[in-house]
Chains A and B, each alone.
Chain A
């Protein structure tokens, strides 16, 4: 190996391994803590997003006059608003809206029984109700559409509309689906006929039990229900699958701007908890990051300072044999950057391993390594090393050789 200025840096590092360790410790631990917290937060964010997804639609648009005591039954017998509102939302191209399902819901009589009849667009409704997706209605497992990915656009594209038209045919004009409890109560099975206010519907599916109000409803096509009730293209609510990130970033406000004469609700507590946790964690992380940069810089600064002190004679010697200030800067800064890179790498590994081991205990979560954090770790660690060594290195390069050479 040829001998050059880099070799000098490496030789020195190798000779003083013990002190190197203490210099590295603060950076490594600091980065490890941040990486571990971030990995666990990220995992919990994904889990909560997944849960929100499984819960189905999480935003409701209701007419002004609707009662909003209960999120899940607010649409029953609510006043109506024009179905064109769906197009307004679609046209706005707001990010974070995954699915729109307009509905019209009324209590109706079927023979002796009062039944809640809900008109739906079948395809949209299926997308909004992952629980249904596990049934034979769709034949596929639930797809997590709300993973926290950035920049998701509304998915109601022209393609979807075509597909929707096809799916609409899956719930024909005079066909109905029955919720499991209604079916039980009224002894409805597949093939039964329901006579609702003079129109007759064939039940093509009995829905699986969901444990929600849906079990008490009968579903028919939105157009059929609109015809049955004679309300034209009016709907009583629109359910929206909104993505958690965008909800916390003000999606609701934007929707209110588009549809000023409506009420907009979310599954408040779930979303709020999510938003709160995210806010808290990101605040905690910012504060922690600040502290770690501060403490890490001071600790590295300390180490470099001591290193400069013990190398005074060497610095004097190098100046005497013709190294200039730039050479001295380089010698020490290069070493600091190396420390930063090593600290960042070790910190990332340590933090990731800690998260993987502790995640299941602390948060009940299985943690996956997040590779992009490696770049952040390196960046922050090098920043720490650089900040910390600036002043000591500046001082090293300005040492007066006349003074050093007098020291034995």
Chain B
């Protein structure tokens, strides 16, 4: 699915280079469920956003199937994010003035998309996640667990092959964390979604089939 060769990312911080990723070589198999762990500042988020086509690496190669991601023009890269990737983030990132249903519809009405019946699909996705009776609630009217489920529904909107999750349970208590992990596990097992999940929690990492450990921007054996 992903083929990553000698990937490095250097940020410029007031003209000082900050090495976030150093020489990362890694493959992600289709249908795998990987947990990325490592101390804070080790480059986990940077790697995940690179996989999602949001961070231009400084050097190295990043292929998604046949696509050389960072050689794509900006609009094709946006299209790639829209079709192939679903993001689930620690802070949910729901649009505050849109209802749960509308948030889930957002990826389906992105520029250049002619989604057929976004409302129907969003309704069934929210239904699958047990939110049938919360469709027209604003994010602030939902509990945190519900908000994260809306975010997952939104990630699934365009039926992407990959789900990239950055500490999806970071803001949730253990019971809610389990709930979210169950959902991700199920998506991986039943729908064959490839899942890459950044997490601090050993418990969450334990749910994933594969583990990748980062330290100071490098993969630890």
Q: Which residue numbers of A lie inside 8 Å of B, CB to CB?
A: 2-5, 7-8, 11-12, 14-16, 313-314, 316-327, 330, 401-402, 405-406, 408
Evaluate whether A314 and B49 lie within 8 angstroms (CB atoms) in the complex, with A321-B107, A321-B154 already known: no
B window 102-147: CB within 8 A of A: 102, 105-107, 109-113, 118-119
Contact indicator A317/B93 (Cβ below 8 Å): yes
Nearest chain-B residue to A406 (Cβ)?
A: B45
Q: Which of B97, B101, B157 has the most CB of A within 10 A?
A: B97
Check B107–A322 contact: CB distance below 8 A.
yes
Asked if B93 and A313 make an inter-chain contact with CB atoms under 8 angstroms apart, the answer reads: yes
Q: Are B102 and A3 touching (Cβ within 8 A)? A: yes
Known: A322-B83, A323-B110. A3 touches B91 (CB 8 A): no
- Contact (Cβ within 8 A) B74 A325: yes
A2 to B109, CA, bound (A): 11
CB-based contact A317/B55 at 8 Å: no
B98 in contact (CB, < 8 A): yes
Q: Is the CB of A402 within 8 A of B82?
A: no
Closest 4 CB pairs between A and B? Answer: A322-B82, A15-B97, A324-B78, A327-B111
| Residue in A closest to B83 when the chains form the complex, CB atoms | A322
Q: Give Cα A317–Cα B118 distance, bound, in whole angstroms.
A: 18
Kindly provide the distance from the CB of A379 to the nearest chain B CB, expressed in whole angstroms: 28
Is there contact, CB below 8 Å, between B110 and A15? no
CB < 8 Å: which of B54, B82, B83 contacts A405?
A: B54
Q: Which of B24-77 contact A (CB under 8 A)?
A: 45-46, 49, 52, 54-56, 74-75
Is B183 on the interface with A (CB-CB < 8 A)?
no
In this complex, the member of B46, B95, B98 whose beta carbon has the largest number of chain A beta carbons within 10 angstroms is B95
Q: Pick 23 A–B contacts, CB within 8 A, sort by A.
A: A3-B118, A8-B95, A8-B98, A11-B98, A15-B97, A313-B91, A314-B93, A314-B96, A317-B93, A317-B94, A317-B95, A319-B54, A320-B81, A321-B82, A322-B80, A322-B83, A324-B112, A401-B54, A401-B55, A402-B49, A402-B55, A405-B45, A405-B89
Q: B54–A321 contact, CB under 8 A? A: no
Residues of chain A within 8 A (CB-CB) of B78 are 319, 322-324
Interface size range of chain B in the complex: 35 or more
Do A324 and B107 have beta carbons less than 8 Å apart? Answer: no
CA distance A323 to B108 in the complex (A): 10
B161 lies within 8 A of chain A by Cβ: no
Find out whether the CB atom of B97 lies under 8 angstroms from the CB atom of A318.
no
Residues of B near A323 (CB, < 8 A) are 78, 82, 110-111
Q: From A401, which residue of chain B is reached at the shortest CB distance?
A: B54
Say yes or no: B111 contacts A320, CB within 8 Å: no
Q: Beyond A320-B81, A327-B110, A402-B55: 19 further Cβ-contacts under 8 Å?
A: A3-B101, A8-B102, A313-B91, A313-B93, A314-B95, A314-B96, A317-B95, A319-B78, A320-B52, A321-B81, A321-B107, A322-B80, A322-B107, A323-B78, A323-B82, A323-B111, A325-B74, A402-B54, A402-B56
Contact B45 A330, beta carbon cutoff 8 Å: no
Q: In the complex, which of the residues B82, B87, B105, B111 has the most CB atoms of chain A within 10 Å of its own CB atom?
A: B111
Shortest C-beta distance, B12 to chain A (Å), equals 11
Taken together as a complex, chains A and B put the C-alpha atoms of A3 and B107 apart, in Å, by 12
Across the interface, do B91 and A2 meet the contact criterion of CB distance under 8 Å? Answer: no
Q: Which residues of A contact B109 (CB under 8 A)?
A: 3-5
Given the complex, which residues of B lie within 8 Å of A5, measured CB to CB? 109, 111
A317 to B: closest C-beta gap in Å: 4
Alpha-carbon gap, A112 to B132, bound state (A): 113
Within 8 Å CB of B178, what residues of A? none
Which A-chain residue is minimally distant from B91 (CB atoms)? A408
B159 interface hit (Cβ, 8 Å): no
Taking CB atoms, residues of chain A closer than 8 Å to B94 are: 317
A405 touching B49 by the CB < 8 A rule?
yes
Minimum CB–CB distance from B73 to chain A (whole Å) comes to 10
Q: Are A11 and B91 in contact (CB under 8 A)?
A: no
Residue in B93, B97, B107, B111 whose CB lies within 8 Å of A14: B97
**Which chain A residue lies CB-closest to B102?**
A3
Chain B residues positioned under 8 Å from A313 (CB to CB): 91, 93
Contact of B110 among A14, A316, A321, A405 (CB under 8 A): A321
Assembled-state Cα–Cα distance A180/B150 (Å): 95
Q: Which residue of B lies closest to A4 (CB)?
A: B109
Cβ contact within 8 Å between A15 and B96: yes
B79→A11 contact, CB < 8 A = no
Q: In the bound complex, what is the Cα–Cα distance between A326 and B75 (angstroms)?
A: 9
**CB of A318 to closest CB in B, whole Å:** 7
Contacts of A16 in B (CB 8 A): 97
User: In the complex the two chains form, is A320's CB within 8 Å of B87's CB?
Assistant: yes
B97 touches A321 (CB 8 A): no
Q: Is the CB of A321 within 8 A of B87?
A: yes
A12 to B83, CA, bound (A): 25
* Distance to closest chain A CB from B112 (angstroms): 8
Closest residue of chain B to A11 (Cβ to Cβ) is B97
Is B54 within 8 A of A324, CB to CB?
no
A205 to B89, CA, bound (A): 99
A3 to B90, CA, bound (A): 27
Q: How far is the CA of A314 from the CA of B96 in the complex (A)?
A: 8
> Smallest CB-CB separation from B55: which chain A residue?
A402
Residues of chain B lying within 8 A (CB to CB) of residue A405: 45, 49, 54, 89
Within 8 A of A (CB), among B189-207: none
Closest Cβ of chain B: how far from A332's Cβ, in Å? 14
A321: B residues at CB distance < 8 A: 81-82, 87, 106-107, 110, 154, 157
